[in-house]
Structure 1
Amino acid sequence: MEMSEYKEIFKAESEEHLQQLNEALLGLEQNPEDMEYINNMFRSAHTLKGMSATMGFNTIAQLTHEMENIMDMIRKSQMTLTEKIIAIQFECLDTLEVLVENIDNPDAVDVSTLQCKLHSIMSLPSTAQDTVAVSEPITNLTYPAPPKNIDTEMPAAQSISVTEEVSCKEVINKEIKFTQEELAEIQLTRAHDQEVLIVKVFLDESCVLKAARSSMVLMNLNKLGKVIKTKPPEKELEDEKFDFSFLVVAATSQSMGSIQHRIENISEVTKVEIIPLYTHKKDAVDHGEKVREEKILDLANKNTIQQKKNESVKTGQSIRVNIERLDNLMNLVGELIINKIRLNQLATDIRSKDIEEALGTLDRLTNEIQTEVMESRMVPIDQIFSRFPRMVRDLAKSEGKQISLVIEGKEIELDRTVLDEIGDPLVHLLRNAVDHGVESPQERAKAGKSSEGLVRLAASRQRNTVLIEVQDDGKGMDPAKLRDAAVKKGLMSKEEVSKLCDEEAFNLIFLPGFSTNAVITDVSGRGVGMDVVKTKIESLGGNVSVKSVLGEGSIVTLQLPLTIAIIQSLMIRTAGETYAIPLNNVVRDVGIRSKDIKTIEGQEVILLRGEVLPLLRLNSTLDCPVKVNDKENLIVVVVEKMGNHFGFVVDELLGQQEVIIKSLDSKVLRSVKGFAGATIQGDGTVCLILDIGTLV
C-alpha cells in the first residue's frame, strides 16, 4: 500500500509520542519509585512501535521494541532501574527524534551500537547492574483475594454477554470470557467504588493505522482508570487482526460521558458505545434469563440517554489543518476588513440609512469571522514550553549543577506565528539562566543556599499581551561588572557607562557582542544570545526587560502581542503623513503647553505626573520636512520601550483603528529601522506602522 500521503500525519503523531516519552522519562528520573511513569512510557512506546511497523519504518519499530522490552522488565521487577538505564533511554529518544525527522532516509542513523547497549543491559543479571537509583526493588502491584460479601451481583458463570449494538430489542450475541483472576480484579475494583464498563469503539473504515488508534484508546482508558480485558486481545489489536471495532473492559471512577468524550476526540474514531458490566443487587430481584433481560433493557435505556446528552460532544472533534491554509485565511480576512473600512468611508459620504444598516450587519459578521479565524490560530504555549525540561536537564548535568525547572501558565495561548518565533529566544534565556545565573552546588552552599537551583519559566495574560518570565535564584548581575565588560569589549566608553543607572546597566547585556564570560564555551561567551533575543522580540512588536538583585537572582520578562497579523493601532498624522503606532506600545496621549518644555543636556523633556519624560519630535525622528511649530498647545503620545517612557510630539490624533500588517518584503525597506510594516487604509492609501523598539 502506498503510504507516502500518511507520512506527515505519522511524523506529527510520532513527535507527540516522543514528547510524552521525554516527559515521562524526566519524571521517572526525579521519582524513580513512581511506576506510573513507566506505564506511561510503555504505552507511548507501544503505540509508536505499532504505528512504525504499520508504516513500514522498521528501524524505528525495532528500536522502540527494545526500549519497550526494558520498560516491561522493570515493570515486572525483572530488572532494577539504574541511572545507566535512564541515560540509555534518553539516548534512544534522541535517536528516534532524528529517525522521525529523516523519515525518508532510514539509513540516516546507525542504531546498531545503541541496540547492542540495550541488549547488554537486558542480558545482565540484576546484581551486576550499576548503582541502583531507587531505594527498594520495584515490585508489581498484586491484588488480594476477592473480598467476601461485596454488595454486587456478579454472574455465576465465567462469561458475560454483551450486545453487538446497544438496542433493547436485540439478543445477546457476543461473549467476553473472564478468567478467575480477572473476575477477582473486577470485584476488587467495585469494592473501591469503581465502575466496570464495557466500551465498544468503532473506527472509520478508511482508517489505515488501526493499531495506533486502538493503542491510543487503551492509553486514554488507562489514564482514566484501568483496562482489565480487550476483545480481541491486545496482541491481536497490535497486529491489526480485527475489523473496525473492538471491545474494552475497563474499571474507572469517571463518568460515562467523560469517557465517551475522551475517546471520541481520538482521530478516526467514529462512534463509542458504553455499557456498565453489571448492576447493584437492589436492581436484581431474581436470577436467570428474566433478570438478565431486565438488566440489559435498563442499561440500554441509560446508554441511549447518555448518547443523546453527548450528541453535541461529537461536533467538537478536531482536525489537523496546514498552517499555510490558516495564513491564507487570515490574509483574506485582512482584505475583507480593508474593504469594510472603505465601505464605511463611502457610506459616510452617501449618508443612506439603508446602506448604514447593511454595513452594520456586515461589520458585525466581519468581526465574528475575524474572531473565529484568530481563535483558530491560537495554540497553547505548552507546545514550546514542553521542549525545555529535557534541555535544562541535559545542560545542568553537563555543567555539574542541580537545577529544578518550574513551568507555569502552559495553558496560555498565542498566535501560531508568534509561537513559532519565540522558541530560539527562550532557548537563549534558559541557557543563560543555567550557565550565568545558577551557581554550582559548592558556590550555593557557601552563599547559604540549597544545592539545587531554581529556574522558573512562566507565562501570563495581560490585556492584549502575553508576558513570559524567565527567572533564576542564582547569583544575580553586578552592574559594576557589566559596565566594566562593556568598556573592555569596546562597546561604550568609560564616560558613557558612568552615566548609566543600575537599570540601564542591566540592559547592556542586549548589546551585540556583549558577554561577561572570559572563556568561550559551547553554551556562552560569544555575546550573541541576548542580542538575538532583543532583536527577535522587538521584530514581533514586543518588549524585553530585565531585573536583577545581586546574590538573589535575575528575571527577564518578554512582553508579546497575542497576534502579529491584525493589531489595534493609534493613527496619527505628522508632517502631512499618516502613521500607525501599535496600541501595545502606547501608554497614553496628553496635551502639553510648549512653554512647559525644558532642555536637559540638549534633550527636550517635560515633567508629566511627577516623571521626567523625554520628548521626541516625530517629524525630526522620521527625517520628514520640519515645519516651525509655534503652537502653544502640543499633542504628545507617550510610548513605552523596555520599561522606559518617551513622548512623541505629533501634529494630529486620528483615533484608534484595526490595521492589517503587511510585511515590507523589499530588501531596501527591510533594512530601514523604525518601521514594523505597512497597512492599507480604507481609501487605498498605504500607511506605515511605526516600530517603537527601533525608533527610540
Structure 2
Amino acid sequence: MDMNAYLSMFIDESNDHLQSLNENLLRLESEPEELSIVQNIFRSAHTLKGMSATMGFEDLAALTHEMENVLDLVRNSKLKMDSFIFDTLFKGLDALEAMVQDIVGGGTGKADVTSIVASLQIILKSDYSANNASAAPTTAADSSNVSSASGAMLLDEFQSSILLQSIETGLNVYHVQITIRDNCMLKAVRAYMVFDLLERNGEVIKSDPSVQDIEQEKFDFTFTVFTISTLAQEDLQTQLLNISEIESADVTLLDAESLAVLSQSSAAAAIEVVEAAPTAAPIVVKTEAAPNERVAKAPAPASPPGGRTIRVDIERLDTLMNLFSELLIDRVRLEQLASEIKRNDLTETVEHMTRVSSDLQSIVLKLRMVPVDSVFNRFPRMIRDLAKSLDKKIDLVITGAETELDRTVIDEIGDPLVHLLRNSVDHGIETVDERIAAGKSETGTIYLRAYHSGNHVFIEVEEDGRGIHHERVLKTAIKNGVVTEEQAKLLSADEINMLIFAAGFSTADKISDISGRGVGLDVVRSKITSLGGNVTIDSVFGRGTKFSVQLPLTLSIISAMLIKLGSEKYAIPLSSIVETGIIRKEQILHVHGNKMIEFRNVIIPLVSLSKVLESPDFNEDVEDETEIVVVRKGEKWAAITVDEFIGQSEIVLKTLGKYLTNIETISGATILGDGYVALIIDPNALIK
C-alpha cells in the first residue's frame, strides 16, 4: 500500500479530530460530570491513534495511546477529572498538533514528549479516586486466560451494565466474530476498518484481543467484539463482509438472558470484579443516561457514507471560479448583442443560457463559502489558556458562527482575529481584583460576533474591560513619534483610538509572551486592508472596547445595479441597496451644513457621489430632480445621488491592485458586456 497516497486524507482527518478533542475537552472542563462528553473524546483519541499507527507515525500514536489510557479510566468512572489532568491532556493536544504540523511540512512527526508521557503515567499510577484499587480492570492477559477457559469473551460489571441498559432501551447489542483472510498483508488496517465501521454506527464496548494488541498486529486472523449498534443484524453483517479481505463476519444478536450468562461466567472467573461490584453499582446509576443517549444519537454525528462528500483542493476551485468569471463576461456580451440583433431564436437561446449559468454561478459560489465557525472554533481554547496564564477569569461568547465567507477570506482572517482577541485578553480585561474594585463582576466577557450586512460580513470583538485611556495613548504616540504634540491636540476621540494601529505602537508596561513588543495591531490593519476590508474601534474608558472588522462577502461575483454619472459608469452591489427613487431639489434639507432627506419618516444623510468621485461632467446641484439610491450599513442608511440607472447585472469583481488606493469609495472594477470598465462603489465607505 502506498501510504503517501493517503497522507493528505490523514492530515485533514487528524486536524478534524484534534479540533473535536479541543472543543470537547473545553466542554468537559465546564461539565466535568458529563461522561457522555468523555465518550466522544475517547472515540476521537482512539480513531486518531489508529490512523497514526496505520500511517507509521509511531510517536503520535504512542502519545495518543497514553492519553487514551487516562480517558478510559475517566469514562469508566474510575478516575475523576481535576485541573492537573485537564492541563496535562491539553499539553498532550498541543504536542499532537505540533506533530501533525511537522508532518504537513514534510517532517516525520517525531517529538520529545517524555515530560507529557511522564505526567500521564503519574495520573495512571496515582490514587485519584477511592475506587481505583477496588475497581481496577482486569488485564489483557487475565481476560485472555479467562476467555480460553470458558470459551467466551468475558465482561466486567461496568461493561455488562452498559450492554444491559442498551438492550432494555431497545438498542441492538451484538457479539461479532471477524476472520481476516490468511493471505492479508496488513491485517491491522483491515481490523481498523472494522472498528471504524462499528464506531460510526454505534459503540464498541470490548474486544478480544484488546484494541492495542490488534493495532500492533498481536493477533492471529480472528478477533471478537461486543458492540452496540444502530444497524440491523443483516445490514451490519453485510457491511462488514463488504470490507476488503474479510473472510467471515459472524454477527450474533444478544438478549438479556445470554448477556447474564456471560456476566456470571465473568464473575466466577474474575474474583476481583465481584469484589468491586458494590462500588460499581452507583457508578452505573450515575452514567445511566450517558451510554444510551450516546448510542441513540450516533447516526447524527456519524461521518457521511462513502461517496457523499469529497475534499477538493482550493486551487481547483480558484481555477473553476476564474473560468466561470470569463464565461459570465461573455454571457453579458451575448445578452447585449441579442438585444441589438433582435432575433427570436437567438434571444431564446441566450435566455436559456442565462438561466443555466445563473444556477451554475450559485453552485460555484456556494462551493467556496465556508462558515466562520471553522476559524472561531480555535479561539475558546486560546482564551482559556491566556486567561489562565494571566490569572484572569474570562468568558468567550460566540454568536453568528454559521455566517459564511469566501474560502479565500477565511484562510486569511484567522491571524488578525488572534491578535485582536489576545489584545482584548491582555489589555482589555482587568484582573479579578481590578474588576471587583471597579464594581464589575470578577469574570470578564469577550463577545465574538459575525453577521452579514449588505455585500459584507462584519466580525466584532468586544469586551467589557478597562477601555482605551486616551491620555495614555496620546502620551505614548507622541513619545514614539507617531504624532506631534500640535497634531495630538486636533485629534478626535475616534482618531485617538485608531492610533493604536500605528506600527510599533504598544502601551504595555513590560514585554511578555503575549504583548509589549509593538507587533500586532498594525499587522491586523494591513492584513484586513489587503483583503479589501476595514477595521474600526469604538471604546468607552472604564466600560470596554469594540473592534469591528468589515470584510467582503466574496472576492468574485456579485449582483449589482449599474448607474451613470455623466459619461462614466459605476456599479453598486445590489445587496447594499434598500430602494431607488427620485427627489426634488426642495425636498433636500440642510442640517448643520449637511444635506439630509426624509426617508420613511427618518432623516438620513444625502451623499453626492459626483463630488466624492469628482465626476467631470455631472453635477446634481443644477438638476431640478435627482435620482437616488438608498443604501444601508447595518442599521445606518444613506441616500446617494446618481445621474441615471442602467439596470441590474451580474458582475465579476476584479481587484485594482495598487491603483486608486487613495479612494476608499472604490472596492474594485468589472468588465461590462460592451467591453468598457466600470468601477464598483463600496456603499459602506460612504456611511460613517
* CA–CA distance in structure 2, aligned partners of residues 504 and 219 of structure 1: 57
CA distance 1:682–1:509, shift in 2 (3 Å): same
Q: Gaps spanning 5+ residues in structure 2: where? A: 138-146, 258-303
Counterpart in the other structure of 1:661: 653
Counterpart in the other structure of 2:407: 416
* CA–CA distance in structure 1, aligned partners of residues 615 and 519 of structure 2: 34
CA contact (8 A) 2:474 2:488 kept: no
Counterpart in the other structure of 1:53: 53
Alpha-carbon deviations, 1:272-307, whole Å to 9, x = none? x998936899xxxxxxxxxxxxxxxxxxxxxxxxxx
CA contact (8 A) 2:59 2:109 kept: no
Q: Structure 1-normalised TM-score?
A: 0.72
CA contact (8 A) 2:460 2:548 kept: yes
CA distance 1:595–1:447, shift in 2 (3 Å): same
Q: How does 1:128-207 map to 2 (within 5 A)?
A: 179=154, 186-196=163-173
CA distance 1:73–1:485, shift in 2 (3 Å): same
* CA–CA distance in structure 2, aligned partners of residues 409 and 401 of structure 1: 26
* CA–CA distance in structure 2, aligned partners of residues 684 and 202 of structure 1: 68
* CA–CA distance in structure 2, aligned partners of residues 107 and 538 of structure 1: 34
CA distance 1:251–1:219, shift in 2 (3 Å): closer
The amino acid of 2:439's aligned partner reads G
Counterpart in the other structure of 1:118: 117
Deviation (angstroms), 1:534: 5.0
Counterpart in the other structure of 1:581: 572
The secondary structure found in structure 1 opposite 2:13 is helix
The amino acid of 1:662's aligned partner reads K
* CA–CA distance in structure 2, aligned partners of residues 274 and 463 of structure 1: 59
* CA–CA distance in structure 1, aligned partners of residues 668 and 454 of structure 2: 23
* CA–CA distance in structure 2, aligned partners of residues 376 and 628 of structure 1: 43
Q: How does 1:224-235 map to 2 (within 5 A)?
A: 226-229=203-206, 234-235=211-212
CA contact (8 A) 2:59 2:110 kept: no
Deviation (angstroms), 1:523: 3.5
* CA–CA distance in structure 1, aligned partners of residues 398 and 619 of structure 2: 54
CA contact (8 A) 2:450 2:460 kept: yes
CA contact (8 A) 1:425 1:533 kept: yes
The answer to whether the aligner puts 1:570 opposite 2:561 as a matched pair is: yes
CA contact (8 A) 1:75 1:140 kept: no
The amino acid of 2:25's aligned partner reads L
CA contact (8 A) 1:75 1:139 kept: no
Deviation (angstroms), 1:377: 1.9
CA contact (8 A) 1:606 1:613 kept: yes
The answer to whether the aligner puts 1:456 opposite 2:452 as a matched pair is: no
Q: Gaps spanning 5+ residues in structure 1: where? A: 144-157, 159-175, 282-312
**Greater alpha carbon shift after TM alignment, 525-534 vs 408-417:** 525-534
CA contact (8 A) 1:74 1:138 kept: no
The amino acid of 1:375's aligned partner reads K
Counterpart in the other structure of 1:86: 86
The amino acid of 1:328's aligned partner reads T
The amino acid of 1:654's aligned partner reads I
Counterpart in the other structure of 2:263: none
CA distance 1:694–1:196, shift in 2 (3 Å): same
Deviation (angstroms), 1:659: 0.9
Q: Structure 2-normalised TM-score?
A: 0.73
* CA–CA distance in structure 2, aligned partners of residues 599 and 109 of structure 1: 68
Number of equivalenced pairs = 614
The secondary structure found in structure 1 opposite 2:103 is coil
Deviation (angstroms), 1:15: 1.2
The amino acid of 2:54's aligned partner reads T
CA contact (8 A) 1:538 1:693 kept: no
The amino acid of 1:605's aligned partner reads K
Alpha-carbon deviations, 1:499-546, whole Å to 9, x = none? 84x677766666667665565654345676455555554654556555
The amino acid of 2:43's aligned partner reads R
The amino acid of 2:373's aligned partner reads D
CA contact (8 A) 1:196 1:277 kept: yes
Counterpart in the other structure of 1:220: 200
* CA–CA distance in structure 2, aligned partners of residues 348 and 493 of structure 1: 63
CA contact (8 A) 2:92 2:116 kept: no
The amino acid of 1:115's aligned partner reads T
Deviation (angstroms), 1:672: 7.1
CA distance 1:368–1:48, shift in 2 (3 Å): same
CA contact (8 A) 1:196 1:249 kept: yes
Q: How does 1:474-513 map to 2 (within 5 A)?
A: 474-477=465-468, 490-491=482-483, 500=492
Counterpart in the other structure of 2:283: none
CA distance 1:627–1:50, shift in 2 (3 Å): closer
The answer to whether the aligner puts 1:238 opposite 2:215 as a matched pair is: yes
The secondary structure found in structure 1 opposite 2:670 is strand
Counterpart in the other structure of 1:321: 312
CA distance 1:543–1:336, shift in 2 (3 Å): same
CA contact (8 A) 2:91 2:116 kept: no
* CA–CA distance in structure 2, aligned partners of residues 686 and 247 of structure 1: 70
* CA–CA distance in structure 2, aligned partners of residues 479 and 526 of structure 1: 20
Q: 2:357 aligns with which of 359, 363, 366?
A: 366
CA contact (8 A) 2:175 2:252 kept: yes
Which structure has more RCO (C-alpha within 8 Å, separation ≥ 6)?
Answer: 2
Deviation (angstroms), 1:77: 6.9
The answer to whether the aligner puts 1:277 opposite 2:253 as a matched pair is: yes
Identity %: 40
Q: 1:471 aligns with which of 455, 458, 462?
A: 462
Counterpart in the other structure of 1:22: 22
Deviation (angstroms), 1:9: 1.7
**Greater alpha carbon shift after TM alignment, 206-215 vs 317-326:** 206-215
Alpha-carbon deviations, 1:50-87, whole Å to 9, x = none? 22222222232233333334444555677664433433
Counterpart in the other structure of 1:442: 433
**Greater alpha carbon shift after TM alignment, 344-353 vs 241-250:** 241-250
Q: 2:393 aligns with which of 402, 407, 414?
A: 402
CA contact (8 A) 1:659 1:679 kept: yes
The amino acid of 2:573's aligned partner reads P
Deviation (angstroms), 1:424: 2.3
* CA–CA distance in structure 2, aligned partners of residues 14 and 615 of structure 1: 52
CA distance 1:66–1:229, shift in 2 (3 Å): closer
Deviation (angstroms), 1:387: 0.8
CA contact (8 A) 2:667 2:682 kept: yes
CA distance 1:104–1:396, shift in 2 (3 Å): closer
**Greater alpha carbon shift after TM alignment, 33-42 vs 6-15:** 33-42
Deviation (angstroms), 1:581: 2.6
CA distance 1:482–1:217, shift in 2 (3 Å): farther
Q: 1:251 aligns with which of 220, 228, 231?
A: 228
CA distance 1:280–1:411, shift in 2 (3 Å): farther
CA distance 1:529–1:606, shift in 2 (3 Å): farther
* CA–CA distance in structure 1, aligned partners of residues 462 and 516 of structure 2: 20
